[in-house]
């Protein structure tokens, strides 16, 4: 039992000392130092109690010195608890605070003098059974008890008075209830020190250490955990506001883009009719101007469509109309369109598509859009050389129903001999509304949405899109699509 008591009391030294070093790291210094004083007083008292327990062993001397040192720490606890209660109170006047604190300090000073001078009440003896015997209890002991009980009574009164006031109308703040509980534990720990069994059983150390832990939890919660929780709540609210703002932005952009498409289509349609000379012959100057209007309108419509597609994908409203498709058929249609994009550039278009490609289950329009985006980018950033489209059947490991399985895919790659992309710029390629810097890149028209949209569309089909590139050599964009089945 003595060994258990020593272990508990040693914990009663280590824990308060550790907390005393941790608490000053927080912000409210006045309250922190009161907590530290409480922790140090508890550690001081437990250290004296450890030595007192050791003196019960044969040959380790008389316990009077260690008992006095232990009590010196214990006698500081009532006044510190009262100081803590005042810091938590909002209804105690300044004059009352000053008067009671001064009276408490005088009481503590008198109690310490009594211990140091060896007054009647401090002459004690501890028997081999662990029982404390007082030779004589004089007036000094009586005054010390009055000081301790007065401080404890004032502390509990200050902490619990709001609870008496609210009564059945409401509750008391949880922190104040815990403060009152910590004070109660400190009182019980102090009072139990005078019980004969205390020197055998570590009840008083357990109670006092429990009070120290309660107070440490409260200050850390108030100054560390609560601000952290409040910050998390603010961050969550900010995230929700950002999501709402993003949603409203996407809706606005989608609405505007949709409204712009109708007049643009009308402009393109009427311009085409005039260019076909349905309404009469055109002069050369008129044809040149109308051709410029037609080309600019087509370009603007393409930009509007990109923005609309992107907002739909971002809002999760992009719908895919899937069907079984022959990938080779889509490639043939896109390559014929790309010939018109090449124009008079010295670029050779090469098509290498395997004969035995499996069918895919996909949206024809969106897959065609992906391939056309990649080919038009290749044309845009290639002055001369070649652009090669390859497609073949591959097998990839995917996770289905919690298991890794081999599944058939189509791998499509588009290789150009253009300017290439620096390794550090590759992440920018798939960023929205951004283009890689460079004289040719900056001159190229576009919103910077083609590749991000293509990447999202491929991923919506269950595939992936990536790029390999080297500056001055060229780039190869790859994407995969799962085979149907």
Cβ-contact 265, 284 below 8 angstroms = no
* pLDDT value at residue 166: 53
Write out pLDDT tens, residues 297-343: 877 887 787 777 777 787 777 888 899 999 999 998 888 888 888 88
Q: Residue 380's CB: how many other CB atoms inside 10 A?
A: 17
Nearest-angstrom CA–CA distance, 245 and 243? 5
- Nearest-5° Cα angle at 192, 187 to 198: 150
Write out pLDDT tens, residues 362-382: 999 999 999 999 998 899 889
Q: In which band, very low, low, confident or very high, does the pLDDT at 390 lie, cut at 50, 70 and 90?
A: very high
Nearest-angstrom CA–CA distance, 387 and 346? 11
Write out pLDDT tens, residues 252-311: 777 777 777 778 888 888 888 888 888 788 888 888 888 888 888 877 887 787 777 777
Cα dihedral 364, 366, 371, 377 sign: positive
* pLDDT value at residue 398: 80
Mean pLDDT across 144-151: 79
Q: In which band, very low, low, confident or very high, does the pLDDT at 439 lie, cut at 50, 70 and 90?
A: very low
Rounded percentage of the chain residues whose pLDDT exceeds 90: 15
pTM score, two decimals?
Answer: 0.51
Which has the minimum average pLDDT: 151-160, 411-420, 428-437? Answer: 428-437
* pLDDT value at residue 438: 47
Longest dimension (CA), the chain: 131
């Amino acid at each position: 039992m003595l060994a258990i008591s020593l272990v508990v009391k040693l914990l009663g030294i280590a824990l308060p000392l550790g907390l005393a070093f941790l608490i000053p790291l927080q912000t409210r210094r006045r309250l922190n130092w009161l907590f530290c004083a409480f922790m140090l007083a508890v550690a001081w008292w437990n250290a004296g109690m450890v030595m007192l327990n050791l003196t019960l062993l044969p040959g380790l001397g008389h316990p009077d010195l260690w008992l006095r040192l232990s009590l010196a720490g214990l006698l500081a606890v009532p006044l510190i608890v009262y100081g803590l209660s005042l810091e938590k109170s909002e209804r105690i006047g300044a004059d009352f605070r000053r008067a009671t604190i001064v009276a408490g300090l005088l009481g503590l000073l008198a109690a310490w003098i009594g211990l140091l001078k060896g007054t009647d009440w401090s002459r004690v003896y501890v028997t081999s059974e662990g029982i404390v015997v007082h030779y004589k209890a004089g007036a000094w002991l009586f005054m010390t008890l009055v000081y301790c009980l007065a401080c404890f009574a004032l502390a509990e009164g200050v902490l619990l008075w709001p609870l008496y006031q609210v009564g059945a109308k409401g509750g008391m703040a949880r922190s104040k209830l815990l403060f009152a509980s910590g004070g109660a534990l400190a009182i019980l720990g102090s009072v139990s020190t005078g019980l004969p069994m205390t020197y055998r059983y570590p009840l008083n150390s357990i109670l006092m250490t429990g009070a120290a832990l309660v107070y440490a939890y409260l200050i850390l919660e108030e100054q560390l955990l609560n601000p952290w929780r409040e910050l998390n709540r603010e961050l969550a609210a900010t995230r929700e506001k950002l999501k709402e703002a993003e949603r409203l932005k996407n809706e606005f952009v989608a609405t505007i883009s949709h409204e712009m498409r109708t007049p643009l289509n009308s402009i393109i349609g009427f311009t085409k009719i005039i260019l076909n000379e349905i309404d009469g012959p055109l002069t050369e100057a008129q044809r040149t101007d109308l051709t410029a209007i037609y080309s600019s309108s087509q370009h603007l419509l393409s930009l509007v469509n990109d923005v609309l597609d992107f907002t739909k994908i971002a809002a999760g409203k992009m719908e895919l109309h899937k069907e079984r498709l022959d990938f080779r058929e889509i490639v043939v249609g896109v390559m014929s369109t790309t010939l018109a994009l090449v124009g008079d550039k010295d670029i050779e278009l090469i098509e290498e598509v395997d004969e035995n490609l499996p069918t895919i289950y996909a949206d024809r329009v969106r897959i065609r859009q992906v391939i056309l985006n990649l080919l038009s980018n290749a044309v845009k950033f290639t002055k001369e050389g070649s652009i090669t489209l390859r497609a073949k059947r591959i097998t990839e490991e995917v996770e289905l129903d919690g298991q890794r399985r081999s599944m058939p895919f189509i791998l499509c790659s588009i290789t150009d001999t253009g300017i290439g992309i620096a390794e550090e710029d590759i992440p920018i390629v798939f960023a929205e509304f951004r283009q890689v810097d460079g004289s040719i890149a900056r001159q190229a028209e576009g919103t910077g949405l083609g590749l991000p949209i293509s990447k999202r569309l491929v991923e919506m089909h269950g595939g992936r899109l990536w790029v390999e590139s080297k500056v001055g050599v060229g780039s190869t964009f790859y994407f995969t699509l799962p085979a149907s089945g």
